[in-house]
Amino acid sequence: MDAAVFFSLFNGYSLAYDDIIFLPNYVDFGVADVSLVTKVTTSLSLSLPFISSPMDTVTESGLAIALALEGGLGIIHYNMSPERQAEEIAKVKRYKNGFIAEPYTLSPHHTIEDAVELNRKYGYTTIPITEDGSPHGLLISLLTKFDYSLQYGLHKGKKVQERMRPIEDIPVARHGDITENGELLLQKANLILLDKRGIALPVVDDKGCLEYLVTRTDVEKSEAYPCASLDAKRQLLVGAAVETQPSAYDRIAKLVAAGVDVIIFDTSQGYSSYEVQLIKDMKQNHPDIQVIAGNVVTGEATRALITAGADAIRIGMGIGSICTTQEVCGAGRGQASAVYECAAVAKKYGVPVIADGGISQISHITKALGLGASCVMMGSLFACTDEAPGEVMYEGGVKFKKYRGMASPEALALGGSKRYSIEKERFRVPEGVPGKVVSRGSIHSWVPILAAGVKQGMQKLGAKAIIDLHCLVSSGAIRIERRSEGAKHEGGVHDIS
């Protein structure tokens, strides 16, 4: 049956993604013909409908850069000072198509063990050496993976200055060598790198201080991401979360100065007078910055935030894998029901909605989009990547990444209590838990898998584009059925040994 009839029959029921199934539709095209281009706000588009959750074990500048390169959008969390959050935004905006603006550096007085640790922790094999060890200090040398080894105890305990290459032996480019009309040109840097047969090319200013680092790997990557999410200046798009409190005004000012493209008012209960006023003030003071409001789960709340001026609506309450809001507070809603109702209201205003949470497998992404979402926001499915800031751990030879709810005891202690409006309470009852997720490797290998799965699902439903999927579902051309427990069992892996 069509979506409107289906959900009217289950009025009063809170349905999850696993409670529904779409019936396949007539298909006359291939998976390669499916496009995932979508609107994230009324004014911004993405090549992929993927947004990372603003959680402290999910999104900082590293993941935001990688996801934007792939065509999605990263939202920097605010469990940090406004100054540090603004710097995280600035790092993303300074990233220029293969130019590393904040390379990991060491000083000559660091040890080879320090270099090994950088390599182990971040995977970097080429390390610029600056006089004071800072990313923009006076360039002294370059240390590569060919310059040191701890195998057999070789170079153990030695200083970097004992193994680093003489500055005369490494290719170095001046800022003016690789610019044209004031714009950095990757092609010029690449030509120098190839001509000098270098592993990496440091770019320095007139005083010899390090500005950027260009590596062969990053040159190859920059050319490999034609669908990157870019602003009008060809810089990567990035968003930031802020609290729904007076302190947000100072934070917002710093984020705007750093170049943020999207502000998310980050609270578990966005249907409030505080958020309505913040949206109005934001649109008056910073009309060029897009605002994503939420979180909400009802049509009434959606209408209120759109009327206040929101450019997109974020949907979901208590349905994340590490969230216990529904169990603690008795408030929330099944995500399938919430997305359908909120999207139906937002559609009347031409405002996109973002389905936030409850996404644990690829089919959930397709279902969220089919129910009216333009994008999905994911936590655990990005926390599992190398670029996420969560701690790495190993158990039984398996690599895990630390992942925790923003209302878990640890996150509350670092500032997450603002999201749940309990920072001034004497007793704080956590609405989230800590956990771990199996590592999936790099964003650059994981996101294409997610995208391919969504395209396969949309092709089976006869939708070439997300907007087509919305139309097919709302018109009844794609029908929905309720899944019984038996159907869920039958649809999953079963009866094998």
pLDDT tens for 249-288 read 999 999 999 999 999 999 888 899 989 999 999 999 999 9
Question: Which residues belong to the active site?
Answer: 323, 419
Q: Is residue 497 part of a domain?
A: no
Sequence-distant (6+) residues with CB within 8 A of 288 are none
More confident residue, 150 or 274: 274
Q: Which residue reads 């249907």 in tokens?
A: 271
Q: How many domains does the chain have?
A: 2
pLDDT of residue 222: 61
More confident residue, 345 or 391: 345
Q: Is residue 229 part of a domain?
A: no
| pLDDT, tens only, 45-65 | 999 999 999 998 899 999 999
| pLDDT, tens only, 363-389 | 999 999 999 999 999 988 998 898 988
Among the candidates 166, 191, 223, a domain finishes at 223
Q: Is residue 230 part of a domain?
A: no
* Amino acid identity, position 298: T
Q: Is residue 104 part of a domain?
A: no
| 122 and 219 inside one domain | yes
| 144 and 56 inside one domain | no
Nearest to 320 by CA among 59, 17, 60: 17
| 261 and 184 inside one domain | no
* Angle, alpha carbons 28-359-375 (nearest 5°): 60
| 335 and 435 inside one domain | yes
| pLDDT, tens only, 347-362 | 999 999 999 988 989 9
Q: Read off the DSSP letter of residue 154.
A: T
Domain, as residue range, for 160: 112-223
Q: What is the DSSP string of 462-496?
A: T-SSHHHHHHHHHHTSS-EEEPPHHHHHHHSS-S-
| 158 and 84 inside one domain | no
Q: Is residue 100 part of a domain?
A: no
| 189 and 316 inside one domain | no
Q: Which residue reads 């398996």 in tokens?
A: 398
| 209 and 240 inside one domain | no
What CATH number corresponds to the domain at position 404? 3.20.20.70
Among the candidates 200, 223, 246, a domain finishes at 223
Average pLDDT, integer, range 482-493 = 80
Phi, psi of 418 (to 5 degrees): -65, -35
What CATH number corresponds to the domain at position 154? 3.10.580.10
| 441 and 300 inside one domain | yes
Q: Is residue 106 part of a domain?
A: no
DSSP run (H or E) holding 355: strand 353-356
Among the candidates 223, 253, 287, a domain finishes at 223
Q: Is residue 103 part of a domain?
A: no
What's the pTM value of the predicted model, to 2 decimals? 0.76
3-state secondary structure of 164: coil
Sequence-distant (6+) residues with CB within 8 A of 493 are none
Distance in angstroms (rounded) separating the CA atoms of residues 252 and 286: 9
| 333 and 432 inside one domain | yes
Residue 398 pLDDT greater than 80, yes or no: no
Distance in angstroms (rounded) separating the CA atoms of residues 402 and 113: 25
300: buried, middle or exposed (CB in 10 Å: 19+, 13-18, 0-12)? exposed
Q: Beta-strand (E) ranges in 81-164?
A: 127-130, 139-143
| 17 and 138 inside one domain | no
pLDDT of residue 181: 78
| 215 and 257 inside one domain | no
Q: Across all residues in the chain, what is the average pLDDT?
A: 86
Tell me which long-range contacts 123-132 makes (C-beta under 8 A, separation of at least 24): 123/386, 126/199, 126/200, 126/213, 126/215, 127/103, 128/103, 128/200, 128/202, 128/210, 128/213, 129/105, 129/160, 129/161, 129/164, 130/105, 130/106, 130/209, 130/210, 131/107, 132/107
Distance in angstroms (rounded) separating the CA atoms of residues 381 and 44: 23
In contact, 278 and 309? CB cutoff 8 Å: no
Distance in angstroms (rounded) separating the CA atoms of residues 142 and 166: 8
Q: Is residue 247 part of a domain?
A: yes
3-state secondary structure of 65: helix
pLDDT of residue 195: 82
| 301 and 424 inside one domain | yes
* 206-210, 433-437, 460-464, range with greatest mean pLDDT: 460-464
